[in-house]
A = this chain, B = another copy of it.
Amino acid sequence: MKIAILGFGTVGRGVDQIVAGLDGVDVVRILDLPDRCEGPRMTSDYSQILDDPTIEVVLECMGGIEPAHTFICQALEAGKSVVTSNKAVVAAHFAEFAQLAREHGVSLLIEATCGGGIPWIASIEKARRIDAISSISGIMNGTTNFIVDAMIKNDADFAETLSRAQELGYAEADPSADIDGIDVKNKTIIAVNVAFDTLCNPDIPVTGIRNLTKADLDLFADRGLTVKLLGRAVQEDGGYAASVEPVALSERSLEANVPANFNLVSLEGATVGPLKFYGQGAGSLPTGNAMVQDVLDLACGRRPHYDFSRDLVFDPSLLSGDYVFRTTMPAPQDAERYADGAWLVRNIDPVAARALLSDALAQDPASFMAVLSQED
């Protein structure tokens, strides 16, 4: 099977290295910018890939929306299956890609968009062959998990830990997509689409960990809790909810004990019960592995079919919980004291909680919010 790689960065190089050790798959073309093209396989002219009928699969690992969006559409229209690791473009254009794939009799495979090397999307698809999936959730971003874990282990504050993560290559120079929850939002939207067979609301409430302090972690640790940034979604009785926010979980939960930059993602099915999957959520070889697994699945005849035809109503109350706000903004009337400088509002939904946090941030830009896990 002849394949082409779009974008020869961290992930693209991982794919190339893995394919070099396999029989039956060959990287025949690699697209990158003109000044990065070396050797006979590399080109900066996409038509050399689109017009080559021997190339069956295009692996897009450029990242970003454009030109990735256009290139994916063109590949599908040219009758080539597409494997992508690009969560931003899939979260934004999943329905368009899925329809193009259907129309042209080819496939779109997206394992590498969520959870790096963890077989997460394939596991959701497998589980829903039998079960209605009632919830998905998890630690889907290694950068923020690394930061929280290092803050606890090194008794260090956010800023210095972020700097260290940047030095180690675990965080980007502009860390916003990670620490503000945008990366987790994209992954949560993709997982909702697949697990619930519906097009997820693009405006789910999102809160990151930019304002998390060591003192916040200590405050929760005194109560046996650890804070992790989770994407979460549930469905019930024709409705669904999804959110991205810091969650305070029991320190004896699996989530609380996920170290360094690892991911842990969960689903709950009616007959299989809860399943959790742990592994490297990013990186050249793990993410490359996920893309090559998709290629091998294609070679074995796996043809994921995404139609998003279920009409579920976005109902954030399905994720209602008890929210802690650490802020200098005075507590609203229905709040209880949680700790010095922190108050608790019980049983509000994540949209209402996010609105309350926005009010707090307007008065105290350092405000932090976390929801208490109900599992413990």
* Chain B residues near A22 (CB-CB < 8 A): 130
Contact among B130, B257, B277, B302 with A18 in the assembled complex (CB-CB below 8 Å): B130
A272 and B289 form a contact (CB under 8 A): yes
With contacts A129-B296, A130-B293 taken as known, whether A117 is within 8 angstroms of B257 at the C-beta atoms is no
Per-position 1/0 for A235-261, Cβ under 8 A of B = 000000000000000001110111100
- A259 to B276 Cα, complex, angstroms: 13
Checking B21, B119, B252, B254 against A123 with a beta-carbon cut-off of 8 angstroms, the contacting residue is B119
Asked if residues B276 and A278 are in contact (CB atoms below 8 Å), the reply is: yes
Interface residues of A in 258-280 (CB under 8 A from B): 258-259, 269, 271-280
**Which residues on the B side are within 8 Å of A89 (C-beta)?**
none
Is A108 on the interface with B (CB-CB < 8 A)?
Answer: no
Which residues of A, 1-55, contact B by the 8 Å Cβ criterion?
14, 17-18, 21-22
Which residues of chain B are within 8 angstroms of A258 by Cβ–Cβ distance? 254
Cβ contact within 8 Å between A277 and B280: no
**Closest chain B residue to A123, Cβ basis:** B119
**Does A110 interact with chain B (Cβ within 8 Å)?**
no
Chain B hits for A21, CB < 8 A:
130
Q: Name the residue of chain B whose CB is nearest to the CB of A296.
A: B129
A131-B289 in contact (CB<8A): yes
> A272 and B280: CB pair below 8 A?
yes
Q: Is A75 an interface residue (CB 8 A)?
A: no
Chain B residue at smallest Cβ distance from A280: B273
Complex contacts, A279 vs chain B, CB 8 Å = 272-276
User: Does A288 count as interface, using CB distance less than 8 angstroms?
Assistant: yes
Measured CA separation A79–B193 after assembly (Å): 40
Bound together, the chains give a CA A18 to CA B273 distance in angstroms of: 13
Q: Given A22-B130, A296-B129, decide whether A285 and B257 contact each other with a Cβ distance below 8 A.
A: no
- Cα A286 to Cα B208 with chains together (Å): 35
Contact A130 B289 (CB under 8 A): yes
Which chain B residues border A123 with CB–CB below 8 Å? Answer: 119
Partner of A285, one of B17, B119, B273, B300: B273
Interface membership of A118, Cβ < 8 A: yes
Contact B126 A272 (CB under 8 A): no
Q: Is A292 an interface residue (CB 8 A)?
A: yes
Which B residues touch A67, using CB under 8 A? none
For A253, what are the chain B residues with a Cβ–Cβ distance below 8 Å? 257
Q: Is residue A202 contacting chain B, with contact meaning CB distance below 8 A?
A: no
Are B126 and A119 closer than 8 Å at their CB atoms? yes
For the complex, what is the distance from the CA of A16 to the CA of B263, rounded to whole Å?
A: 35
Q: A130-B293, A289-B131 are in contact. Are A277 and B277 (CB under 8 A)?
A: yes
Mask of A292-305 contacts with B, CB within 8 angstroms, 1/0:
11001000111000
Beyond the given A254-B257, A254-B258, A271-B288, please list 9 additional residue pairs across the A-B interface where CB-CB is below 8 A.
Answer: A22-B130, A118-B275, A129-B293, A131-B289, A271-B285, A272-B280, A272-B285, A273-B279, A273-B285
What are 30 A-B pairs at a CB distance below 8 A? A14-B271, A17-B271, A21-B130, A117-B272, A117-B275, A118-B275, A119-B123, A119-B275, A130-B289, A130-B292, A252-B257, A252-B259, A254-B254, A254-B257, A254-B278, A256-B257, A272-B279, A272-B285, A272-B289, A273-B279, A273-B285, A274-B279, A275-B278, A276-B277, A276-B279, A277-B277, A278-B278, A300-B301, A300-B302, A301-B301
